[in-house]
Structures are given as C-alpha cells and as structure tokens.
Amino acid sequence: MIRTWLICIDDTDDIGTKGTGEIAEEILQLLLSKASFDNDSDGLSLVHSPTWVTRHQLFVHPDIPYTSHNSAMCFEVTSGLALAEIKDICIAHLAAECASAADPGLAIADKDLITADDIQQLISFGQDAKRLVKTKKDAYELAAEIGVDLSEHGGTGQGIIGAIAGMGLRLSGHDGRVKGQLKVGLKDAHSELTISVREIKQLTGLDAVIELNGFLLNEDELIDVSGKIKAVMHNHKFALLVYQHQDETTGEFHWRNALKQQLKKY
C-alpha cells in the first residue's frame, strides 16, 4: 500500500563531520531509489514525488547538548515500503554516517494515520521545543500516545527530542528552511538576475513566491535574485520569500529575495 511517511532526524553530527541535513538528504535518496515488489502495488514500491528536506531550529540552551545550531531535519516520502523496511534503511545509514560523539534520534510517522488532534499535539511539542528544555520522557510519552515510531541510535539518544519536535514543526506549515540553495540560473555568487514568479516556480518546483508579510505574488511579477537563494515553509507552502527594495539611483521599488536576517525566524 502506498503511504506518505514523515521522517525526522536530530543530533547526528559533531564538529568537522557530515551534517544532519546531508545525512537526511542521503536517507531520502536511499528511500527514493529503493525498488521492491509487493502484492499490494504489483510494481515499484516507491512513488517518486517532489520532496524537500527542511531544517527546524530548536531551543539553544546550556542544558541542551548540540553541535552548533541545535536544529532537526525533516522530510516526507511517499512509498509502498512498510514501516519496518523504512526504519531499517534509516537506521543502517545513521549507523554508517553519524559521528561517534553524536546522540542520534529518529522519528517516523505515517501521515495518513495522524489525526487532527495528533497534529496539534505534535505542533505544540515542537513549538515548546523552540523555547523550553524538553526531556526524553516528554518525547517518548507523546510518541506512545499518538503512534510515532521514535528511537535512539547512539550516545545518550537525546536526539529523539529534536526528532519528534522537528516533525511537529514541519506539520505546523509555518516553520523550516529548505536545505540547500535554489538554482535559478545565476552565473556565480556575485551575479544578479531578474526573473518572473512563473519562471522561478518552473525552475525550482516551489509552490509560491510570498512577500514577508504573507502577500502572494502573481505569476508575472518580476524578482531580482542574488546571493544565496533560500526557500522556506510558509503557510503550508514551499516558498521563496521576497521584500521590496528601493533602487538608490531611480527610486523605484523592486522585489528581491529575502535576506539571511529576514529568514532567521524560520
């Protein structure tokens, strides 16, 4: 049976080692490339659909061990694989790639089985984890109550807290920066390009281009893009955020991709 799975990992790295975001992307690619046959699908067990790995910032506090930023990485995958198969692939890659000093946590949930009440509990936990010190007991109790498969894979296993928190923040639809930079045809890091909303969506697969206060730009609006072009999750859409910049020479206003500081809350 084809289902949509939500997967989140946290606390897999150490200074100078492969980052959690890179490990999440590798797990996603392993799942996408895994092909098997079963009686339900009578064909490939995986449906190849667009997906994004999102980074979710958690509370930075002396009582919380973390490498550099304390962020969890989450993604969705639509698959005919069973939970046990998906979990085995995740665990094997975590075992192979996690830093020896890390405290990895893994959360997996079947989105089709998560109720509206479950989602609200996960969101509340995630939002609390951005401002409060949560415990492993808190994480396990929530996972048991709503049916999230939560497991630890080394060290203290403290990463389970961030794993289930990141899942909740992803489900909120208003949190998370997409890992990596959008490719829209810039020649180099110092170049600039004027491009329409329609073209940006076609080139990247994004859902929308949105002004910082939530205004949705139409397809023909032009955007001046430069530097690191980052997407975020905003109002349950994967979007490029933009702001109005005034040209010092002409005085005209132009849309520009949001700056790093403006994206910080994601």
Q: Hey, what are 103's tokens? A: 């405290």
Considering the domain architecture, whether residues 105 and 126 belong to the same structural domain is answered as: yes
Q: What pLDDT digit, counting tens, does each position of 233-254 carry?
A: 999 999 999 999 988 888 889 9
Residue 69 CA to residue 237 CA, distance in Å, equals 24
State the Cα torsion 109-233-263-217 to the nearest 10°: 180
Considering the domain architecture, whether residues 196 and 70 belong to the same structural domain is answered as: no
Is 242:257 a contact under the CB 8 Å cutoff? yes
pLDDT of res. 45: 45
Is 168:160 a contact under the CB 8 Å cutoff? no
Domain housing 240 = 181-263
Other Cβ atoms closer than 10 A to 252:
8
Q: How many residues does the chain have?
A: 266
Q: What is the DSSP letter of 262?
A: G
- Point out the domain boundary residue: 125, 149, 176: 176
C-alpha closest to that of 126 among 166, 158, 161, 91: 166
Considering the domain architecture, whether residues 127 and 250 belong to the same structural domain is answered as: no
Q: What is the largest CA-CA distance in the chain?
A: 66
Q: What pLDDT digit, counting tens, does each position of 101-152 carry?
A: 788 999 999 999 999 999 999 999 999 999 988 999 999 999 999 999 999 9
pLDDT of res. 16: 58
Strand partners, 193: 225
- Point out the domain boundary residue: 124, 143, 176: 176
Residue 39: which pLDDT band, with cuts at 50, 70 and 90? very low
Is 210:104 a contact under the CB 8 Å cutoff? no
Which residues does 172 contact at the CB level (< 8 Å), separation at least 6? 123, 126, 127
- Point out the domain boundary residue: 176, 197, 225: 176
pLDDT of res. 92: 95
